[in-house]
Amino acid sequence: MPDSNWLEGELSRQLAPVTAPQSLWDRIEAGGRSAHRRPSHAWVLWPVAAALALMALAGVWRIRSGTAEPDPFREQELVLLRTPVHGYDAHPANLQETRAWAKAEANIDIDTPSGEPAPDKGAVRLIGARMMNYRGLRVAAINYRAGDESATLFVSAKRAGLSGNTEISKHLFSQIASEGDQRIVSWNMRNQTYSIAWPGAKSSRGACLLCHASIPG
């Protein structure tokens, strides 16, 4: 048997602390989606199904008890909602008019960054705005173009119990997703869910220019 000094020394050496990789922050900023998904196997399907059934039951129970955490927006639905079928409810000339319209229609606040210069009016062209009912929740959808890109900002009415909610204008993306050729980023701020959807993966941050004076780093 090895002596305890050898064992403890070897354990200290082999289990020594390490430095976290630089990519860790990018993964965290990108939200809860793992960059290291592994292929699933058929034999794990039944426990997954059982877990989903339990989660569904838990969800029903939580809704019934009035403490349900709101669902995030679903990417596929947001993509479908991007293209207006029946035209727009409003054609605001600028962001200020858009904010006033959303407030008047559904008491939705569209918060803009504090302490930043106003966005360049020439950088973004507003196309139109719609007020929608999204799974029982009022949501403002603002279509706009930033350069050659078209994008849609979705802002929900206030709701309680959002995870990762922030009370300040600076925000951290809680979700970044792709749906077909669409990219979507979401975050929760002041009890409202914000999502931006745009097509294609290149120059995506141009979509931020609706509210930001420059593309955030």
> In this chain, which stretch among 30-38, 87-95, 135-143, 146-154 interacts with other proteins, using CB under 8 A?
30-38
Q: Which CB sits closer to other proteins, 6 or 61?
A: 6
> Is 12 one of the binding residues for other proteins (CB under 8 A)?
yes
Nearest Cα neighbor of 167 from 90, 114, 91 is 114
What's the one-letter identity of residue 186? Answer: S
Nearest Cα neighbor of 108 from 84, 87, 90, 82 is 90
> Is 34 one of the binding residues for other proteins (CB under 8 A)?
yes
What token pair was written down for 101? 């319209």
Min separation Cβ 211 and other proteins, Å: 16
Helix (H, G, I), strand (E, B) or coil at 163: coil
Nearest Cα neighbor of 129 from 100, 157, 169 is 100
> Is 114 one of the binding residues for other proteins (CB under 8 A)?
no
> Is 16 one of the binding residues for other proteins (CB under 8 A)?
yes
Among 52, 53, 170, 181, binds other proteins (CB under 8 A): 170
**H or E element in which residue 59 lies:** helix 45-64
> Is 191 one of the binding residues for other proteins (CB under 8 A)?
no
What token pair was written down for 173? 């993306």
Report the DSSP pairing between strands 192-199 and 175-179. Answer: unpaired
Listed in sequence order, the residues at least 6 apart from 13 whose beta carbon sits closer than 8 Å to its beta carbon are: none
Among 21, 66, 115, 117, binds other proteins (CB under 8 A): 21
Nearest Cα neighbor of 111 from 212, 205, 204, 213 is 212
> Is 70 one of the binding residues for other proteins (CB under 8 A)?
no
Among 171, 177, 194, 206, binds other proteins (CB under 8 A): 171
Among 112, 116, 137, 166, binds other proteins (CB under 8 A): 166
Among 159, 165, 176, 205, binds other proteins (CB under 8 A): 165
Do 95 and 109 meet the contact criterion of CB atoms below 8 Å apart? no
Q: Which CB sits closer to other proteins, 94 or 163?
A: 163
Alpha carbon dihedral 60, 138, 115, 122, in 10-degree steps, equals 140
Among 17, 66, 117, 122, binds other proteins (CB under 8 A): 17
> Is 201 one of the binding residues for other proteins (CB under 8 A)?
no
- Footprint on this chain of other proteins (rule: CB under 8 A): 1-4, 6-8, 10-12, 14-21, 23-25, 27-28, 31-32, 34-36, 38, 163-168, 170-172, 189
